[in-house]
Structure 1
């Protein structure tokens, strides 16, 4: 699992970490029982505050995605990936709705939007 922090993102650093770990779980890059990097180790690797990584891990623990073992660190929980995937789809739908509103405001037709999506989708392959 590779976590990348973007300084140009609108999201707080801890939220970027949370989102990337959630994606890694959904994509099965990490599985139940896998050890997470230590809070200090991750902070050092990302060159960020220990408080920030601690906040991200605590948020993931509250959501039931990580569990901690005193003196050993954090581990990936056994969870229902379908629920995570549904949350991700819901978030994507919200973003798409915002984009569609902008497209309509710009006077784009459904055909224009579909063409744009096809081109962009092919570029990501």
Structure 2
């Protein structure tokens, strides 16, 4: 599995792993039932703590992207269209929040941001 860890990022490493695996699932790069690398092998490959990988896998399981069978490994869960759509919504919401913050940092008023949003939506 090809994951890229940015050690200079403000985002925790386990979140980087979670985000990249979720992106792979949403882009169809993983199929339901496909086995993820073991915690030990991925930690060795990425040169990070096994506890960090375990935390990422636990988060993925909690969010419904992965099923873990003790003694067998972690597998890609069958993702429902609703789960994938919710993930896409969260991504769009995050992007919109960043755009609003950027506009405010540039001195734009909320109404100017709304007007710009509406203008873009018309295109």
Unaligned runs of 5+ in 2: none
Q: What TM-score results when the alignment is normalised by the length of structure 2? A: 0.77
How many pairs does the alignment contain?
A: 112
Please show how residues 63-78 of structure 1 align to structure 2 within 5 Å. Answer: 63-78=63-78
Distance in 1 (CA, whole Å) between partners of 2:8 and 2:85 is 26
Q: What TM-score results when the alignment is normalised by the length of structure 1? A: 0.76
Please show how residues 8-87 of structure 1 align to structure 2 within 5 Å. Answer: 8-87=8-87
Out of 84-93 and 55-64, give the one that drifted further: 84-93
Q: Does 1:97 align with 2:97?
A: yes
* Aligned residues: CA RMSD: 2.2
- Secondary structure of 1:91's aligned partner: helix
Runs (4+) off by over 3 Å: 107-110
- Secondary structure of 2:90's aligned partner: helix
Q: 1:104 to 1:63 in 2, by over 3 A?
A: closer
Unaligned runs of 5+ in 1: 115-125
